[in-house]
Every structure is written in structure tokens, then in C-alpha cells.
Structure 1
Amino acid sequence: MATIMKGILGGFSGKVGTVVGFNWRGKDVIRSRPKPSSKPPTDKQKLQQMKFKLVVGFLQPLKSVQQLFFGTRSGVKSRVNQAVAYTINEAVEVINDLPELVYNKVLITRGDLAGFQNVALTNQTGGVLSLSWEDNSIQGNASDTDLVNLVCYCPETETFELFLLLAQRSDLTATVTLPDVYVGKTVETWAYFNNQDQEKACNSPYLGTFTIT
């Protein structure tokens, strides 16, 4: 692999002859085109491919969140790639030779901001979810102005509802209303704090499965 230093050709994207050009972390890079393998994938390779497809498809709607709030910017892997790697390694199990997500192990965000204290989510009629927590704004790097976010995922429709910047840590409660399309369906739920500068977030706690009424 070689890096193009803005020479006579500059950067390019796509295939040209025997090389491929692309931009990686702000650098224009070229490498030789990979040769297709004539060997059929092993069962282990097939399973890994299925895990990757499952996780990437699941996390795609969360890309804008995880670009900001998953892991660190240091190292080779982007934050989105860190989220994919974590989810594959920690939040997928194989049942009857097929990979499945383990929702209570999924992290929406991952960081060192102080998290929730005694957080709880309750399900009410009309598609209403009510979130509550205790004030811990004097602990560690917490601030009373940290912002609360709620994430809901419906496995049946394979869709997310993101409720961002709902309240501040000091508010102690927040309420959201899901669209009518979710009535009668179950949703998986998580919450997270991020600071006002959108530089830090906490590890997102899993809040449970709820049937929307």
C-alpha cells in the first residue's frame, strides 16, 4: 500500500488498471487490486461474514452517534470500526449456526463520562416511555448540564428511534412518545449521557425490553 503525496496525478477513487485508489483518514492511498480467491470460504469464514453483515446492518443508523461517542479517536480504527468490533466480539451469540444480537450486551456509546445512577425506564399507555435517574452531578467528571439521550430499537421493523438531547442530568426525568407504528411491538432500549461540548459520553446502559401499548 502506498500514500499519494499530491503528485502529478493527485488522489483518485476507484479502480485504475491493477490498482485501487481511495481516501483513508484524510490520506489518498493506492494499493494493488486484490485477487479473487478460488477457494470456497470455510464454515468459520462464512459465520464471520454473517456476523459482520448482521452487526454492520444493525449499527448503520447509529453511525452519527458512534462517530462522536464510541471509544477514542486514537489508533488506527475509527470509532465506527471500534463499535463494529466490540459488537461482533461481545454482543453476538450463535444459535443453531446463525448469529444473533444479544441486546443487553450492546453498547450504543462507550466512553469515560460518569454514567447514570439508579436509572429506570417505565412503559405507559399511548407509546409513552418515562426515564428517571438520580442526581450524581458531583461525582467524578459528571456535570449537571450533561445531556440525556434515549435509544429505542424495534427488532420486528429493524428500525431505531433516537431521542437526543432530551434533558440535562440535573432534570432527573425525561419522557418520550413513540410513533403509533410501534404499538403492539417490542422495543429494546438504551440511554446515554454526553457532555455539552459533545466530546465525551458514558457507556450506555441497557434499560430492557418493552411492549409498546
Structure 2
Amino acid sequence: MATLSDSSVIQPQGKVGGFTFYKLNGKIIMRSLPRAPHKNGTNPTPLQKVYQNRLAEVNDYLRPLSRVLDFGYQNYLDQKTGVNLAHTNVSTKGYNHKANPRINPAFLQISRGSLLGAESPLAVRTADGITISWKDNSVEGNASEGDSVMILLNQPELQKHIWIKEAGRRRDLQALAPLEGENSEKEWEVYLTFYRPLNNKKLVISDSMYLGRS
């Protein structure tokens, strides 16, 4: 609200643009008019529908993995959850509304950090489950042979996953994700991460690596 002085050359009244003018106690009062509801709130454009669907679908894709993502992004959780942090990469790089499926699992990053990741990792389906192997790089960079191995098997169509937080050590050069019963009949999207304690309260973690569908 604003008051126009009596010395104003123009003394408007009524509605002008986004404002209304009226006289009160000899003074001209100006108030902004309430904004009408945006027409696209109930009738979104095709492009807005794409954005809305992307937001909903990526959230549905990531939400079952919230505990995994909070662990993998634990060094970045000051103001966001792991789901929030993983969302950006998936929605900006890994979502195509014309593709089937619309979300590309290669752009899901389940962990982020400065620890050296796996060298030449490979996931192979075996009679016992999925065996993941990698080359020895334990003497390179900040890697250590005692780094823990974390494996995620994800089945987004069923919103189901298998999280193996302690699957072995870097020095083992391989780890098994066992599969039994109906789980052995499914294909799984495979992710690999290394980590180790940095101190009593913090871990140093590698960026995760996507090893394909096995």
C-alpha cells in the first residue's frame, strides 16, 4: 500500500494496471491487486507436464534407496538428503521422456567422495549370484587394501534392492552378491563403492560405479 501526496499532478482512481486507487480521508491510496491464479496451475503446457512427470518419476525411482543414498552421500548431508543429492544427476542427465525406460540407471550415483574407486570393475552372473571383480590399485592415490566394498543391486521396476554394505575388502579383488530363490531369476542393476573410516565420526567414500545390468 502507498499514499500519494495531495500535490500529485495526477490523482488516479479505480483500477490501473496491477493497482487500485481510492480516496481515503482526502488522500489517494494505492494498493496492489491480488494476482489471479496462474492458468497453468491447473492446465499445464506439454513441456510443464514433462517436467512434472520427470520430478515425480525420479523421486519414485530414488525414494526406495533413501538409506543407501544417505550412507553414500553422508559427507554432504548438511542441508539435503541423499535422495535430493542423487536427484540432480538423474533428472538432468539420466532422464529422457521419450525413452523406455525413461530413467538411465548409468546416471544414478549412489555415493560421492574423494576415495579412489575401482579399476576395471566387472560384474558377471554366476550360479551363486553376481560376482564383481576389479584390478588391484590399492597402492595408488589414497586407496588402501583394507577399504571396504559396498554393493547395491537395484530392481527399479519392482522398487526392490539388495544392499550389501560389507561385501569384502579392496585387496580381495572380487566380491559376491549372493542371489537365492526368486531373486536369482531377476536381472539387477549393479553398483560398486569403496569406503573406509576416516575418523570416529566420518568415512572417506569413493564415487560409485555402475557396472551394468546382470
Instruction: Give the alignment's TM-score, normalised by structure 1.
Output: 0.71
Alignment of 1:200 onto 2:200: no
Q: Secondary structure at the match of 2:167?
A: strand
Report SS of the residue matched to 1:148.
strand
Give, in whole Å, the separation in 2 of the partners of 1:53 and 1:73.
Answer: 23
What amino acid does structure 1 have at the position aligned with 2:86?
A
**2-structure distance, mates of 1:188, 1:99:** 13
- Is the 1:47–1:99 Cα contact (8 Å) retained in structure 2? no
**1:92, distance to aligned residue in structure 2 (A):** 1.2
- SS of residue in 1 equivalent to 2:90: helix
Q: Note the C-alpha offset of 1:73.
A: 2.5
Question: What is aligned with 1:61?
Answer: 64
The match for 1:167 is 168
> By percentage of residues, which structure has more strand?
1
RMSD, aligned CA: 2.5
Q: Distance in 2 between matches of 1:118 and 1:99?
A: 27
The CA deviation string for residues 105-151 of structure 1, in whole angstroms up to 9 with x for no partner, is 2211122210001211111124x111111221221121222110111
Once the two structures are superposed, the pairs formed by residues 176-187 of structure 1 within 5 Å of their partners are 176-187=177-188
Q: Are the equivalent residues in 2 in contact too, given 1:68–1:199 (CA < 8 A)?
A: no
Percent of residue pairs bearing the same amino acid type = 26
1:117 and 2:119 equivalent?
Answer: yes
1:44-98 CA-partner distances (Å, limit 9, x unpaired)? 22111111111111111221222232385387544431211121112111216x8
Q: 8 Å contact 1:156–1:185 — kept in the other structure?
A: no
Q: What are the within-5 Å matches in structure 2 for residues 132-147 of structure 1?
A: 132-147=133-148
- In 2, Cα distance between equivalents of 1:74 and 1:157: 27
Unaligned runs of 5+ in 2: 1-35
Cα gap change, 1:100/1:71 in structure 2, threshold over 3 Å: closer, same or farther?
Answer: farther
Aligned residues: 174
Instruction: Please say which structure displays the higher CA radius of gyration.
Output: 2
1:176-210 superposed Cα distances (whole Å, 9 cap, x missing partner): 21231123322111111112345222121111112
Higher helix share: 2
Tell me which residue corresponds to 1:28.
none
Residues 107, 169 of structure 1: alpha-carbon distance in 2 compared, 3 angstrom cutoff: same
Aligned match of 1:82: 85
- Render the CA deviation track for 1:6-54: whole Å, top value 9, x for unaligned: xxxxxxxxxxxxxxxxxxxxxxxxxxxxx97553222222111111111
Tell me if 1:157 matches 2:158.
Answer: yes
Could you tell me the TM-score, scaled by structure 2's length?
A: 0.71
Structure 1 counterpart of 2:107: 105
